Structure 1
Amino acid sequence: MQEPKLVLDPARIRAEFPAFRQPGLQDQAFFENAGGSYTCAPVLNRMKHFYWSTKVQPYGAYGTSREAGDAMDLAYRRIAQALNLPVDWVHFGPSTSANTYVLGRAFEGWLKPGDAIIVTNQDHEANSGAWRKLAAIGVDVREWKVDRTTGRLSLTALDPLIDAKVRMVAMPHCSNIVGEINPVEEVVRRARSVGAITVVDGVSYAPHGLPDVLALGCDIYLFSAYKTYGPHQGIMAVRPGLAMELPNQGHFFNEGKLRYRLNPAGPDHAQVAASAGIADYLETVAEIAGPGISGITPFHRAHSAMRQQEQALLAPLLDYLKGRNSIRLIGPDDPAIRAPTVSLATDQPGVVLAQKLAEHGIMAGGGHFYAYRLLEAVGIDPQHGVLRLSFTHYTHPDEVQRLITALDAVLQ
């Protein structure tokens, strides 16, 4: 089999992750990155510094408190840079599921009975259930359905759902099961044509390169820091005008403060500060990639390098799966149009296959992964589930070959 052509040196990339130096992980190949990636050293270093040196209430009058607040402010600026956004777009919360739930409550006061919204059955339930609950107040919830064979969301199926009553379209940038990268920019254009906003769940896309949110054009973009090499936080980008227009979800006296309006509980100070390390790491990726990778900023170059690396890593696995007629691959078999999140349906339950792979030192996942509606739509019993194999740019080519060998053993 031909060696993949890599643009990132695996040794240099993996040196940024302490997990690869832990004795208990030495003989393990990590293919459950869609559930959470390893944490990069810049994030861990910032977290340690905050807890050791500035673990006080931030934004106070004394020096240590001001330093803590400055560290948090830096994280807002750095994440905004990485997403190509003004800083007032950025919000932190305890998780993407929690952030979406709060948004759902905010939209409950923003929408009126008779307004329509569009959701998909391709989503993780966090970006579907919160919006579907708005039917209880008289909102017309329309479902953009996937193709039952491919799991794909087609624009042809979306167009009949859009009319002047639609106020919002919620969709995934990439499904955590199907893996195909959805045409966000085209959906944004269609939504804007009727005055609707777009809410994009980027949890399954962002680990493969933080997007240029301004270029996407959406009004809200959500992702999880712990899947983008950072701490267990949810990050969302919200167009500031919309954030101020939505009903306040925080304390009444904070109504005029953008950072507080959509976060009723308050974020974890140390984890917010540590999130600046995500941007630090992405700049390192751009540096490792070298001058051959195009892009206006280091973050654009990191995105391009990560995607190229992952496509090269993914191709051998997809080629192998094409020769296994007993396996149903959910989503496309072209690495150029999907993320390296590969879900397989076989006669064995997904969790059983994951357990068998664990005996070969392969860390993978089995189940429905909160995409219950999607599995039902493509004819798979969610309780039977799928085997999910998910990796990122730090996966080593040898690990992909090791996975293929293990699959040969457990699928016999």
Structure 2
Amino acid sequence: MQLDTDFVRAQFPAFQEPALRDKAFFENAGGSYMCRYVYWRLRRFYRERKVQPYAPYHASLLAGDEMDEARERLARMMGVSTDEVSFGPSTTANVYVLAQAFGQWLTSGDAIIVTNQDHEANTGAWRRLAARGIEVREWQIDPQTGHLDVDALKNLIDEKVKLLCFPHCSNVIGQINPVAEICKLARSEGIFTCVDGVSYAPHGIPNVNKLGADIYLFSGYKTYGPHQGVMVIGRDLGMLLPNQGHDFNGTTLYQRFTPAGPDHAQVAACAGIADYYDAVYAHHYKAGRDGAGRCDCVNTLFQAQETALMQPLLDYLSGRNDLRLLGPPHAKDRAPTIALDLGRSGEQAARQLNAHGIMAGGGDFYAVRPLAAMGVDLDQGVLRLSFVHYNTQQEVDRLIDALDQTL
């Protein structure tokens, strides 16, 4: 089965927008295009249902039902219970709230493990727990490859460790970490896990139940949806941690880590992400499957498309001697988020690519720790080229052509 990219691109209004039509979008890691289902739901909510939800009148009931639908359908996609899914203004905000909860629950002398492969969103708030007397241990990457070695993790574990925070993949290194293996190891030692899936989920929203993560986080605006952070937290852990929401919401799992009122319209519009996955599934398959099964099939289509696009680009980059490719050179080992150390300003290179109709980014992308660990000059940063399943071979060829002229 091969992904029908013509069908896929027809689901995204951006590709019909005249101002974007002649541009090739390679900064998807900063935020993907929004699919039309999310756009429709968001517009409808603001037009017809912009009222306080869950009140006993028609518009309000519709608003509440649509918010519930988003939670239910995303939960089914990820193989978890509905109340284990909660929304927040961003993943950074969700991590901050979690860190406050763990800070109240942990005691002085307890330890947590973080990595220096992370985007700052899933490491900064955890590291601040040191001010509360919590020991913070760092699982460090290989400075040449950016790889996280599981054997090195084992050397950090003892009876003091209560929590392990790590990324599904880095937003500059791109290597996909063996999440299920790591979570199984942590669980065998009585350690909770918090997995940052922001850079992985755009390439396939995972079955969190199968991964075995206690907490899994990703961003809706990078998975074809609105600007919301999506968080899965297992019921046992979620009810164990101190409530961070209003006191009267303390018995409802998905409200315990939402200190402020949710953005009703954007929460409701997240159901459009599930609409999109279902539309892709229905276009390519006939057999009926449950939400997680459909999601898995669509993920396979997405990843096959991305792998086919990525390897020629990686081969081209590996053949140059005027840049350093961060992360694995093989498409099967990574996500298509490709950072290049050019020995000069990555932002300047991105501006030069823009003259060729290539939309890309340059800088540190809040990944200061992994870039510094790998010896990248932070003042110059990296050029980042990131794409997803809706990109095409023609766009990759155009990118390679532009890189030839720019580099």
Give the TM-score normalised by the residue count of structure 1: 0.96
Return the offset for 1:291. 6.2
1:122 aligns with 2:124: no
Matched with 1:12 is 7
**Secondary structure of 1:156's partner?**
helix
Matched with 1:352 is 348
Matched with 1:224 is 219
Q: 1:373 aligns with which of 369, 373, 388?
A: 369
**Secondary structure of 1:168's partner?**
strand
Q: 2:395 aligns with which of 394, 399, 412?
A: 399
Provide the rounded CA distance (Å) in 2 between the counterparts of 1:119 and 1:152: 14
Return the offset for 1:289. 3.5
Provide the rounded CA distance (Å) in 2 between the counterparts of 1:284 and 1:85: 21
Listed as ranges, the gaps of 5+ residues in structure 2 are none
Matched with 1:173 is 168
CA shift digits 1:266-290 (9 cap, x unpaired): 2100001110010110112223343
**In structure 2, what residue type is equivalent to 1:192?**
R
CA shift digits 1:170-215 (9 cap, x unpaired): 0000100000100111111211121000000000000001000000
Matched with 1:3 is none
Q: 1:303 aligns with which of 288, 299, 314?
A: 299
Q: 1:382 aligns with which of 370, 378, 385?
A: 378
**CA RMSD after TM alignment:** 1.5
**In structure 2, what residue type is equivalent to 1:309?**
Q
**Aligned pairs for 1:142-181 within 5 A:** 142-181=137-176
Please say if residues 282 and 299 of structure 1, whose CA atoms lie closer than 8 Å, have aligned partners that are also in contact.
yes
Return the offset for 1:45. 0.7
Listed as ranges, the gaps of 5+ residues in structure 1 are 1-5
Matched with 2:281 is 286
**Aligned pairs for 1:9-408 within 5 A:** 9-290=4-285, 297-408=293-404
Provide the rounded CA distance (Å) in 1 between the counterparts of 2:286 and 2:405: 41
**In structure 1, what residue type is equivalent to 2:321?**
N
Provide the rounded CA distance (Å) in 2 between the counterparts of 1:44 and 1:278: 10
How many residue pairs were aligned? 406
Sequence identity percentage: 57
Provide the rounded CA distance (Å) in 2 between the counterparts of 1:209 and 1:150: 24
Return the offset for 1:245. 1.2
Give the TM-score normalised by the residue count of structure 2: 0.98
**In structure 1, what residue type is equivalent to 2:214?**
D
Provide the rounded CA distance (Å) in 2 between the counterparts of 1:369 and 1:350: 11
CA shift digits 1:76-97 (9 cap, x unpaired): 1011011111101100000000
Return the offset for 1:396. 1.2
Provide the rounded CA distance (Å) in 2 between the counterparts of 1:7 and 1:161: 43
CA shift digits 1:54-97 (9 cap, x unpaired): 11000011111111100100001011011111101100000000
Please say if residues 8 and 288 of structure 1, whose CA atoms lie closer than 8 Å, have aligned partners that are also in contact.
no
**Secondary structure of 1:61's partner?**
coil
Provide the rounded CA distance (Å) in 2 between the counterparts of 1:283 and 1:309: 18
Q: Which runs of 4+ in 1 moved over 3 A?
A: 288-292
30-39 or 259-268, larger mean C-alpha shift: 259-268
Provide the rounded CA distance (Å) in 2 between the counterparts of 1:149 and 1:79: 37
Return the offset for 1:392. 0.1
